[in-house]
Amino acid sequence: MPHHEPPPEKGRRGWKLEDIDWSGIQRDMVRDDDDLFYLLAPASFVEILSDHYTRNLIDHYRGDSAVVGWLEDNWRREEMQHGEALKTYVRAVWPEFDWDGAYAGFAAEYGAACTMAALEPSPALEMAARCVVEIGTSTLYRCLFNYVREPVLRQLLANIKADEVRHYGHFHAFFEAYNREERKGFWEVWRILRGRMTEIRDDDSYIAFKHVYAWRRPGAASGEGMWTQYSRYSWRISGLARRNYPYAMAADMLLALLPLPAFLKPLLRLPIVGIARLTLFRPPPSVPVPPRLSSTG
Ligand SMILES: [Fe+2]
Ligand SMILES: [Fe+2]
């Protein structure tokens, strides 16, 4: 396997949990925001489970010391810190929520499906898939940043978003390097991007929602009843997302990935933003979809 040099990380300190002014949280500004709780708690689960997914990725790229080194030394630590920071925030604002109990159920279900089979077969295509996950996370945190007014959470979301954008930059650079050898064309890359975008919406969020809801409202719903609750929640969240989602940022990140002639990309930007506005935050179907798994980011 070839060795690829990542973009430089030298001299970058990054942020730490202790940099956050936890005692300054203005609980009254967020405590009654149920939608925010159901966004932050699942996000903390998925981020912390990065630990599990990193091992799969490292196995996939064993032999490429630059990729493995960056995943182990930077990416894994930063994703777990996102999870720890969100968990700390959720516990500070909603102390009655049994984070550990809900996480145990989530980790068992999500972790079991998150195996090597969920990785793309080619190194370049898996890097493209990783980019989609980072586009998803960086735009999600940007969307939340636009929505939230509580200052400590805004600081936290700004820090996490900046990390996710940088992760995208690294995976993008690795994708370009691998694809100079693999020479995957537009349709092969597009098929991966499309598939991953659908999975992010349908699967990760449902599994996480289910475990958060079951612990917050014990005995309230299971099976199709749970899906109904999830549909209602998604309906409400879709309104919040439509108003705050950074469509142009997502379009730019997506376009940068696609193997297309450079002159075409600016022409496609507005149509992609338009399509995203029309299609991204539709409510889910009323019947459960079979779970597939993507990954953490
Ligand atoms: Fe993250
Ligand atoms: Fe990330």
In CATH, what number is assigned to the domain containing residue 250?
1.10.620.20
The Cα 271–Cα 256 span in angstroms is: 15
Q: Is residue 68 part of a domain?
A: yes
Q: How far apart are the first and last CA of the chain?
A: 24
Average pLDDT over residues 99-126: 82
Q: Is residue 33 part of a domain?
A: yes
Q: Is residue 296 part of a domain?
A: no
Q: Is residue 19 part of a domain?
A: no
Q: Give residue 226 CA to ligand 1 midpoint distance, Å.
A: 27
Q: Looking at the predicted structure, is the pLDDT value of residue 85 above 90?
A: yes
Q: Give residue 132 CA to ligand 1 midpoint distance, Å.
A: 13
Q: Which residue has the tokens 């650079």?
A: 173
Q: Which residues are CB-neighbours of 92 under 8 A, at least 6 positions away?
A: 22, 25, 27
Measure Cα distances from 268 to 12, 142, 180, 276, 277 in Å: 34, 22, 23, 12, 14
- The band of 210, judged by pLDDT with boundaries at 50, 70 and 90, is confident
Q: What average pLDDT does the structure give for the chain?
A: 86
**Least-confidence region, from 90-99, 211-220, 242-251:** 211-220
Q: Is residue 95 part of a domain?
A: yes
Give the SS3 label for residue 148: coil
Q: Give residue 50 CA to ligand 2 midpoint distance, Å.
A: 9
Nearest to 153 by CA among 246, 296, 31: 31
Q: Looking at the predicted structure, is the pLDDT value of residue 217 above 80?
A: no
Q: Give residue 82 CA to ligand 1 midpoint distance, Å.
A: 5
User: In this structure, which ligand is nearest to the CA of 157?
Assistant: 1
User: In this structure, which ligand is nearest to the CA of 71?
Assistant: 2
Q: What is the pLDDT of residue 203?
A: 65
For residue 258, the enclosing domain spans 27-279
With b meaning 16 or more CB within 10 Å and e meaning fewer, what string describes 78-117?
bbbbbbebbbbbbbebbeebebeebbebbbeebeeebeee
Q: Give residue 296 CA to ligand 1 midpoint distance, Å.
A: 8
Q: What is the pLDDT of residue 75?
A: 92
User: In this structure, which ligand is nearest to the CA of 83?
Assistant: 1
Q: Give residue 225 CA to ligand 1 midpoint distance, Å.
A: 30
Q: Give residue 158 CA to ligand 1 midpoint distance, Å.
A: 12
Q: Looking at the predicted structure, is the pLDDT value of residue 1 above 80?
A: no
Q: Looking at the predicted structure, is the pLDDT value of residue 169 above 70?
A: yes
Q: What is the pLDDT of residue 2?
A: 53
| Residues flanking ion ligand 2, Cβ below 5 Å | 134, 164, 167, 297
Number of domains forming the structure of the chain: 1
**Least-confidence region, from 33-37, 137-141, 209-213:** 209-213
Q: Looking at the predicted structure, is the pLDDT value of residue 111 above 80?
A: no
- The band of 94, judged by pLDDT with boundaries at 50, 70 and 90, is very high
Give the SS3 label for residue 290: coil
Q: Give residue 79 CA to ligand 2 midpoint distance, Å.
A: 6
Q: Is residue 44 part of a domain?
A: yes
Say what the pTM is: 0.87
User: In this structure, which ligand is nearest to the CA of 156?
Assistant: 1
Q: Give residue 44 CA to ligand 1 midpoint distance, Å.
A: 9
Q: Give residue 283 CA to ligand 1 midpoint distance, Å.
A: 25
Q: Looking at the predicted structure, is the pLDDT value of residue 127 above 70?
A: yes
Q: Looking at the predicted structure, is the pLDDT value of residue 198 above 90?
A: no
**Least-confidence region, from 36-40, 57-61, 88-92, 145-149:** 57-61
